[in-house]
Structure 1
Amino acid sequence: MEQSHWQPSRQSATPLHMQITQYIRDKIVGGEWPVGTRIPSQRKLAEAFKVNRSTVVTALDELTAAGMLEGCKGGGTRVVNHTWGALAATPPTNWNDYVKSGIHRPNLPAVQEINRAEFHPGVIRLGTGELSPELLPHLEMSNVLRRVADRTPPLGYGEPMGDLRLRELLAARLQKLGIAASPASVLIVSGALQALQLISVGLLEPGSAVLVERPSYLYSVPVFQSAGMKLRGVPMDENGLRADLVGAYARQYNASLLYTIPTFHNPSGTIMSEARRGQLMEVTEAGGLPVIEDDVYRDLWLDAPPPRPLKARDASGNVLYLGSLSKTVSPGLRIGWIAGPQPVLERLADIKMQSDYGSSTLSQQAAAEWLGSGMYEQHMERIRERLRERRAVMLNSLDRHFAGIASWKVPAGGFYVWLKLHAPLPARTLFDQALRRNILINPGHLYDRDANQHIRLSYAFASLDDMERSLAQLAEIIESILS
């Protein structure tokens, strides 16, 4: 449950516990917290309201006595609202039953907590996988949007495959990467995540197995699981996905496709070697195993341009290639693309029209302006330079504070350092203690349930000062837990 930024007023003549009681009562009576809702713990409420825990306990006791709350056997407190519900002609709708009945799985509780905490004032986001606001091209985007507006932008729906000019520009860029693409073989989507959602419901049967790297970003978002698919992890090494194991895993699980991030992998930062890419393509083509290549980090190389995409080696249309501007220009623009066989893209475009009737025409025109004007290349040169600086700051901090407690590899691009602690410790304890000091981390178990000794760190989001200070504090927290 998302907590409000509301806090009781210490200047008010009304006692703090009575203000909190009225606040929660209003949430219940107004229907925001319906029957069955589990309210935050006493500790979290006390932290959110900036009061003593005893003040929260007094407020909750009054609401419990009034019949609006009750304790649960498994811990926690839920809304029961017997008092006004009993007086109503009919009992209030139990929305909690509806919430549990929805076919789309919720995010992992830890992911939900991270999503909420990211927007708490003062929180330092050490794991966020996006560019810092100070790196986003605010002035350039304003100019782009102004030029789009001067051309009398279209305000109606767009064509199913997306803006033609944008697809032409993307096809030309893909051809420079060695990918045989025409505008007809490019579909515009609202970010790479929507591409995965379309694929999950449009190309796969419920119960299908999807092979992924282990660890993998896909374990942290239930996009395939919500459509009834099962994720099966294939081990990685320093050269990327173990291609020599893919055939056996595909046969064992009767896999329907393989999802991979070969370039600056999320979360490990690994870049798949040239030899491994060739081996993987041979294995998947021989076994008739389709591949989703997620290449959203490609342009974020810091040391040298990465190897050609898997799609550039694809002579049989076996690879669906995903790209996006979310990691490089703006996550708020919501522009991504899929390149692949036309019949597949037409199927996905039809499903997309059923769900949102096409991506924003304004965003598509802005993206076309970025790519067609040369601004994108200039922007990426600046971003790479800034990310190199940020990577250096993080690596220096790790050398100073983590040399005795963890190991890591230097990423050649992307956003992430995959930190491995030398000794296991309770992930929940570490997460909670870090958050109490306004440090938000992404624990490794989000990406692999067995990666309890790992933390995904990002050098892309937090300011340099915040990064250095919070890493020093995080090391202190880890050492105190281990001691």
Structure 2
Amino acid sequence: MLNPDWKPDASSPLPVYKQIEQYIREKVLHGEWPPGTRLPSHRALSALFGVNRSTVAAALNLLSASGLLEGNRGGGTVVRSGPLEPSTSAVKAPIWMNAADEGIHYPNLPVIQTINRMEAASGVIRLGTGELSPELLPHGSYNQLLAELSRCRRRLSYPEPQGCPQLREAIARHAAADGIRASAASVLVVSGSLQALHLISVGLLPRGAAILTEKPSYLYSIHAFQSAGMKLIGLPMDKEGLQTEKLADAAAAYSASLLYTNPTFHNPTGRTMSMERRMQLLEQARASGLSIIEDGAYNELWIDHEPPPALKSLDSEGRVLYTGTLSKSFSPGLRIGWVIGPEPVIGRLADIKMQMDYGSSMLSQETAALWLSSGRHEAHLVHIRSRLRERRDHLLELLHRFFLDIAEWDKPSGGFYIWIKLTVTVPLRALFEAALAEGILLNPGDLYDRNDRQHLRLSYAYASAAEMNGAVPALSAIVRRLAKTERQES
């Protein structure tokens, strides 16, 4: 998916359509957009360049007339595959375009690609984003950390396979506060918890393995396991989390040996598994021979009351691999997460990680170690919980005012998300596109369950109160308009 990072200059004496024509021409002639590259639609390009569609059409018509672009039988416009200049010898196209389609790792879903692209665009209200607003991040403390690190002796060499010892010790102490008993030897530092899932998928399981998970689940929005040749088996949830009575039968039916679960402030539903259900889950896992990946990304982001203890804190068999991260509480850009588990498993994952990237950034690791060991993290969490409470309550109030007759939802006690169920019929893809056209970026429910037709994941962590004030009424109006059209056409 192309993602132009340029916009025409309205103050230039050169007409805008000519600026666009020159920009694309340079991309083609310099090989950045090689033969076979599919251009975004006229509509998408007009949004990316901030111009109307007729301007885009004028630029593309010039390029087509000069032989740089051509129409494609499957629709859309592509860079011409034949030689652009007369040549005495045959020209073979590079392999990259086919390789981009045929590589073993699946591409992101088109909507995810659009979300990733538009999150960097200006003027967009990010109503589904799973990260803290920049105004909630500890910029002052971060600068203090860097100043302190600048006065210390720095390690400029590669890190150890499992990560910086000081950081692993700090993570072990941090986990102990949540009842998780682990030494530094049982900790692997990773570049965000998403990398942990990729390491597990290629290092611990055979191709064709079945992975049990909640449905809906964050796992459906990424391809960590599917790209490794594995299949996801979704299990139903209720308000207490995963329905454990289905676990043994599913494990037997699919010969599954692994369960991925996000039991605390679940992404996307915001639900938290009860203590009774956690005990049932571990009991069922023991009986079925299931190992567990516990995603603890949101555990410490409680708002109303502390959640039940992590599954890992109840595990005395080495059955649970626990993944944690600083991305949701301290800094997404730091790219620091961790896996806690049995030492042999951690050693195996560390060996694979060394083959992938030879270790996470030492600067990030040293920063994270100082952050966790200095007491700043706990103080920051108190602040963040308070601010998240304010934002959650504000979004709930707006939903009550503008969605009460067209949707249902539960009040989450922590994390980032409100999982709203529309009680009117609206095509989610049409809703996504209509909202984006009005500058509102959504996370529709079918990202987390392909069969979902009713839900939206709304986040109170990123958009400001002022942005929510504008976006929620506008979104309500869009839903009502689309629902009316659906009724008239049915």
- Same fold per TM (> 0.5)? yes
Using the TM superposition, give the Cα deviation of residue 83 of structure 1 relative to its aligned residue in structure 2, in angstroms: 4.7
Residue 63 of structure 2 corresponds to residue 63 of structure 1: yes
Q: Counterparts of 1:5 and 1:100 in 2: how far apart (Å)?
A: 22
State the match for 2:40 in structure 1. Answer: 40
Q: Secondary structure of 1:291's match?
A: strand
Q: Counterparts of 1:145 and 1:14 in 2: how far apart (Å)?
A: 45
Using the TM superposition, give the Cα deviation of residue 406 of structure 1 relative to its aligned residue in structure 2, in angstroms: 0.6
State the match for 1:150 in structure 2. Answer: 151
| Partner amino acid, structure 2, of 1:122 | G
Q: Counterparts of 2:154 and 2:88 in 1: how far apart (Å)?
A: 52
State the match for 2:488 in structure 1. Answer: none
State the match for 2:200 in structure 1. Answer: 199
Contact 2:240 2:273 survives alignment (8 Å): yes
Contact 1:257 1:290 survives alignment (8 Å): yes
State the match for 2:27 in structure 1. Answer: 27
Contact 1:36 1:79 survives alignment (8 Å): yes
Using the TM superposition, give the Cα deviation of residue 220 of structure 1 relative to its aligned residue in structure 2, in angstroms: 0.4
Structure 1 window deviating more from structure 2 (345-354 vs 40-49): it is 40-49
Using the TM superposition, give the Cα deviation of residue 14 of structure 1 relative to its aligned residue in structure 2, in angstroms: 3.5
Deviations 1:333-367 (A, max 9, x none): 11111111100000001111111111122211211
Structure 1 stretches lacking a partner, 5+ long: none
Q: Counterparts of 1:85 and 1:198 in 2: how far apart (Å)?
A: 46
Q: Secondary structure of 1:82's match?
A: coil
Q: Secondary structure of 1:129's match?
A: coil
State the match for 2:487 in structure 1. Answer: none
Residue 51 of structure 2 corresponds to residue 51 of structure 1: yes
Contact 1:68 1:82 survives alignment (8 Å): no
Deviations 1:48-94 (A, max 9, x none): 33333223223222222322222222221111153516538533424
| Partner amino acid, structure 2, of 1:33 | W
State the match for 1:106 in structure 2. Answer: 107
Deviations 1:302-331 (A, max 9, x none): 011110111111121111011111101011
Contact 2:189 2:338 survives alignment (8 Å): yes
State the match for 1:181 in structure 2. Answer: 182
Deviations 1:116-161 (A, max 9, x none): 0001111110001000000000000111121122112211111111
State the match for 1:402 in structure 2. Answer: 403
Structure 2 stretches lacking a partner, 5+ long: 485-490
State the match for 1:262 in structure 2. Answer: 263
Q: Secondary structure of 2:338's match?
A: strand
Structure 1 window deviating more from structure 2 (19-28 vs 332-341): it is 19-28
Judged with a 3 Å threshold, the aligned counterparts in structure 2 of structure 1 residues 318 and 55 are, in CA distance, closer, same or farther, namely same
Q: Counterparts of 2:398 and 2:409 in 1: how far apart (Å)?
A: 12
Q: Counterparts of 1:283 and 1:478 in 2: how far apart (Å)?
A: 42
Residue 89 of structure 2 corresponds to residue 84 of structure 1: no
Residue 434 of structure 2 corresponds to residue 422 of structure 1: no
Q: Counterparts of 1:346 and 1:20 in 2: how far apart (Å)?
A: 52
Q: Counterparts of 1:226 and 1:88 in 2: how far apart (Å)?
A: 42
Contact 2:257 2:289 survives alignment (8 Å): no
State the match for 2:316 in structure 1. Answer: 315
Q: Counterparts of 2:49 and 2:160 in 1: how far apart (Å)?
A: 49
Q: Counterparts of 1:28 and 1:88 in 2: how far apart (Å)?
A: 21
Deviations 1:193-224 (A, max 9, x none): 11111100000111111011000001001011
Q: Counterparts of 2:83 and 2:50 in 1: how far apart (Å)?
A: 29
State the match for 1:300 in structure 2. Answer: 301
Structure 1 window deviating more from structure 2 (128-137 vs 146-155): it is 146-155
Q: Counterparts of 1:231 and 1:373 in 2: how far apart (Å)?
A: 40
Judged with a 3 Å threshold, the aligned counterparts in structure 2 of structure 1 residues 181 and 12 are, in CA distance, closer, same or farther, namely closer
State the match for 2:285 in structure 1. Answer: 284
Using the TM superposition, give the Cα deviation of residue 412 of structure 1 relative to its aligned residue in structure 2, in angstroms: 0.4
Using the TM superposition, give the Cα deviation of residue 282 of structure 1 relative to its aligned residue in structure 2, in angstroms: 0.2
Contact 1:177 1:312 survives alignment (8 Å): yes
Contact 1:68 1:83 survives alignment (8 Å): no
Q: Counterparts of 1:157 and 1:60 in 2: how far apart (Å)?
A: 48
Using the TM superposition, give the Cα deviation of residue 11 of structure 1 relative to its aligned residue in structure 2, in angstroms: 4.1
Q: Counterparts of 2:16 and 2:83 in 1: how far apart (Å)?
A: 24
| Partner amino acid, structure 2, of 1:273 | S
| RMSD (CA atoms) | 1.5
Contact 1:257 1:291 survives alignment (8 Å): yes
Contact 1:66 1:83 survives alignment (8 Å): no
Contact 1:28 1:79 survives alignment (8 Å): yes
Deviations 1:10-48 (A, max 9, x none): 444444333322221111111111111110111222233
Q: Secondary structure of 1:39's match?
A: coil
1:217-256 equivalences under 5 Å are: 217-256=218-257
| Partner amino acid, structure 2, of 1:166 | L
Q: Counterparts of 2:94 and 2:413 in 1: how far apart (Å)?
A: 53
State the match for 2:474 in structure 1. Answer: 473
Contact 1:321 1:339 survives alignment (8 Å): yes
Q: Counterparts of 1:268 and 1:304 in 2: how far apart (Å)?
A: 18
Contact 2:170 2:373 survives alignment (8 Å): yes
Structure 1 window deviating more from structure 2 (168-177 vs 371-380): it is 168-177
Contact 2:212 2:235 survives alignment (8 Å): yes
Using the TM superposition, give the Cα deviation of residue 479 of structure 1 relative to its aligned residue in structure 2, in angstroms: 0.8
Q: Counterparts of 2:162 and 2:88 in 1: how far apart (Å)?
A: 51
Structure 1 window deviating more from structure 2 (406-415 vs 78-87): it is 78-87
Q: Counterparts of 1:404 and 1:338 in 2: how far apart (Å)?
A: 43
Contact 1:211 1:233 survives alignment (8 Å): yes
Q: Secondary structure of 1:259's match?
A: strand
Normalised to the residue count of structure 2, the TM-score between the two structures is 0.96
